[in-house]
Amino acid sequence: MNVKKIFFFSIFLFFSIFVFIILPTNNFQVRAETCDNLSIDEKIKCLKNETEKLGSQSKTLSSQISQFDAQIRLTTLKVTQTEEKIAQLSGRIDQLEGSLEALTKAFSERVVETYKMSKVADPLFLIISSPNLKDVFSRYSYLKKIQDADRNLLQRLQVAQNTYRDERVDQEDLQKELELQQKTLNTQKLAKKLLLDQTKNDEKKYQSLLSQALAEKAAIEKALISGVKVGPVKAGDPIAMVGNSGYPSCSTGKHLHFEIRKNNSWTDPSSYLQNKTIQDEEKGGTASIGSGNWQWPLNDPIRMTQHYGHTPWSWRYSYSGGIHTGFDLNSSSSDVIKAPADGNLFKATESCGSSTINIVYIEHPDSVISLYLHVQ
């Protein structure tokens, strides 16, 4: 009896492992096949739904890889769709150009002819030069038809010009959209590569990285409660020094994590900071960032190693929906961190995994808080 129980328990255990561990690794592939044999619009809608389902699942390395695969396939389809729209639009624009040239040429010729005929269109001249009244009406009716045809030609020319101009604008907008989609696709592919490089396809390592991100979030939440008030600061006042506190559990190197919250919700810092050209190490080259009036917290030249939002490393931040909640910055000239705007300064030191992280933050008017992590 005991042998039978052990036998059936072993079968049950194997089946459970197969269903809950082995099957999920191919789960996206199975579900994604349901999106095949559809139009490209329907495929995009179908894959969006599958990507959302994967994003709501409990995070495992296999589900994260499946989510990246889903995102990459979805973005690839969007790129294909946009390329097809551009190709179709280019064909219509080529046809419009030919039609526009023909109409312009015809209208130019008609203007010359109509001008010549207008010289003999005077009613008195028609009466004098015509042998009878019937001929006067015939010639006058003919001239009216010519004038109506000219007006119709002019209207067609104007419509063709407007359509051509609108479709050229559409083409330029689609080209910009395509460039953004291709950048997104490159980011997604790089994120998957970095995921595999950093985890070495090891579930334990993956969970450790997620835990580190959660530990950093917990440290921030504690700091906002237990932070010690230093006092009021003005824009430009020194408030801390760039550091690497939190290493190795919650920091990968010396940098400033600069974050802004409005009503305790993460906000893109670029909407607060003044416009500035910075060195963009995440995407390469330089970038013009900022649309607000706050000073930047570091002196020029500023290097940004990670943007706000979806980045190649933001898969770690499952708690925020996979977005990096601030800017990661460095300065080549100084480690001094300055207050970007007036407010009240607070300082806190919190545990972060097996490490200790130093955090300062400023409470600004209108329920806005700016945070500065990993400071010395």
CA 300 to chain centre: 27
All domains in the chain, ordered by first residue? 1-201 (1.10.287), 204-373 (no CATH)
Q: What local confidence, expressed as pLDDT, does residue 4 receive?
A: 47
Query: pLDDT-based confidence at 92, cuts 50/70/90?
Result: confident
As a whole number, mean pLDDT of residues 40-60 equals: 74
In tens, the pLDDT along 293-337 reads 999 999 999 999 999 999 999 989 988 888 999 999 999 999 999
Q: What local confidence, expressed as pLDDT, does residue 11 receive?
A: 42
Q: What local confidence, expressed as pLDDT, does residue 261 receive?
A: 97
Query: pLDDT-based confidence at 140, cuts 50/70/90?
Result: low
Query: pLDDT-based confidence at 370, cuts 50/70/90?
Result: very high
Percent of the chain with pLDDT over 90: 46
As a whole number, mean pLDDT of residues 162-187 equals: 85
Q: What local confidence, expressed as pLDDT, does residue 20 receive?
A: 37
> Lowest-pLDDT range, 9-23, 129-143, 149-163, 353-367?
9-23
Q: What local confidence, expressed as pLDDT, does residue 27 receive?
A: 47
Query: pLDDT-based confidence at 142, cuts 50/70/90?
Result: low
> Lowest-pLDDT range, 179-183, 258-262, 268-272?
179-183
Distance CA 8, CA 18 (A): 15
Q: What local confidence, expressed as pLDDT, does residue 7 receive?
A: 42
Q: What local confidence, expressed as pLDDT, does residue 91 receive?
A: 76
Q: What is the 3-state secondary structure (H, E, C) of 216-272?
A: HHHHHHHHHHHCEEEEEECCCCEEEECECCCCCCCCCCCEEEEEEEECCEEECHHHC
As a whole number, mean pLDDT of residues 266-284 equals: 96
Query: pLDDT-based confidence at 215, cuts 50/70/90?
Result: very high
Is the pLDDT at 115 greater than 80, yes or no?
no
